[in-house]
Structure 1
């Protein structure tokens, strides 16, 4: 999904409305897509990024190579920063994967200045991610037990009301939720299917565990559901839910 994350990052940051020269932190920075967009479009004073994966942090360092950026390996539930050191703390496509999202949001609020912005976005796995929806609907039609793996079932957090409740319970104020819709375009069925062969994430891991015959059955079942244009291309909609709140003033 990294292919599309940067397309969400730009409208997400615009929605936040944080001005130039702000101090940002990017919790779960991954390969640096969100941090890169902050640097390119919002002229920050600094960006502090953190991820549990040493490989991702190394990739992001090589990608960004900017003196305003400081990246670290660490846990979203125990941020290594002092209190009140950032004007805006953001988290892209991570909250639903955390064992304790509530603690992570409280940590994000802790390191944010009073009156500062705390915000995140997640994919709408339930109905808004057509790329994933076609895949899981086809898999469940073939093998009903697959329903337990469907991210739409596994991640109830990825909906407006749970996201709003998460931020409110962490003490954030003026909490708002916004839908961010993008198009995901594929050259052909092979271009659509290729990410599912990567072995990383729930759907690719599931595909990798299938034998070749079952894998081809699934690919054909998915293909039959896809809206393939006369030129072979595929255009699908993807929705992310964004949430933001203000760190309370003391």
Structure 2
């Protein structure tokens, strides 16, 4: 399942970010939340645990199978009326929306006046150590390999803050959220890259076996054999709808 592969690759770390992001917003319990791009539900679960009433929306039916309170929908055209939610959030989503400004305008549209509109994205440029190590090795083996840091301009504080201000949101704040990412050994580190979910696994799946093996061997040489301890950083942004 897509959700299982995502969980093995990065979902287990995104849950930890969500658990820190929700209290960072500083909103009271009992409010109506919309989780845009809810995926496997990490952010929704953290909001529910904090006493929120949560609705989720995601474009991928594979993530939503069997779950209540979620609908299939596009972040750029949310299937909700204006001014319906007290808090509108998007976790690890905006980097992958073709038109993030339009998606943010939709988040603001469905928020009540004074509502918190917020998001967080992985820092692909520098802060996701597991991915930075992978892409550095991939580009050494294959000079045509992409670089997620260059592909996703919103993975830095200034572009995020600029996007929020351009949408007319007020009181904009951007902060880093950093969590540990630990692996029992190299197999635990490498296996998630074989699942096909995410930019790095998708790239790897499209390479011939000799290229995949060379990337694997280069990473193995650069990492400890056991007890691999890295960090993952996300940038969180929040503002209010006037």
In the superposition, the TM-score normalised over structure 2's length comes to 0.94
In the alignment, what sits opposite 2:54?
47
Q: Which runs of 5+ in 2 are unaligned?
A: 1-9
Aligned partners of 2:141 and 2:211 also within 8 Å: no
In the alignment, what sits opposite 1:57?
64
In the alignment, what sits opposite 1:141?
140
1:2-58 per-position Cα deviation (integer Å, ceiling 9, x unaligned): 121110001111110010111100000001111111111x112x2111000111111
Partners of 1:47 and 1:121 lie apart in 2 by 17
Of residues 214, 220, 224, the one that matches 1:223 is 220
User: How many Å apart are 1:172 and its aligned residue?
Assistant: 0.4
In the alignment, what sits opposite 1:71?
70
1:229-240 matches, within 5 Å, as 232-240=226-234
Partners of 1:38 and 1:100 lie apart in 2 by 26
1:6-155 matches, within 5 Å, as 6-40=15-49, 42-44=50-52, 46-59=53-66, 61=67, 70-146=69-145, 149-155=146-152
1:184-199 matches, within 5 Å, as 184-199=181-196
User: How many Å apart are 1:206 and its aligned residue?
Assistant: 1.6
In the superposition, the TM-score normalised over structure 1's length comes to 0.91
Structure 1 stretches of 4+ moved >4 Å: none
User: How many Å apart are 1:213 and its aligned residue?
Assistant: 2.1
User: How many Å apart are 1:224 and its aligned residue?
Assistant: 2.1
1:117-148 per-position Cα deviation (integer Å, ceiling 9, x unaligned): 000000000010000000000111122121xx
Q: Which runs of 5+ in 1 are unaligned?
A: none
Task: State the number of aligned residues.
Answer: 233
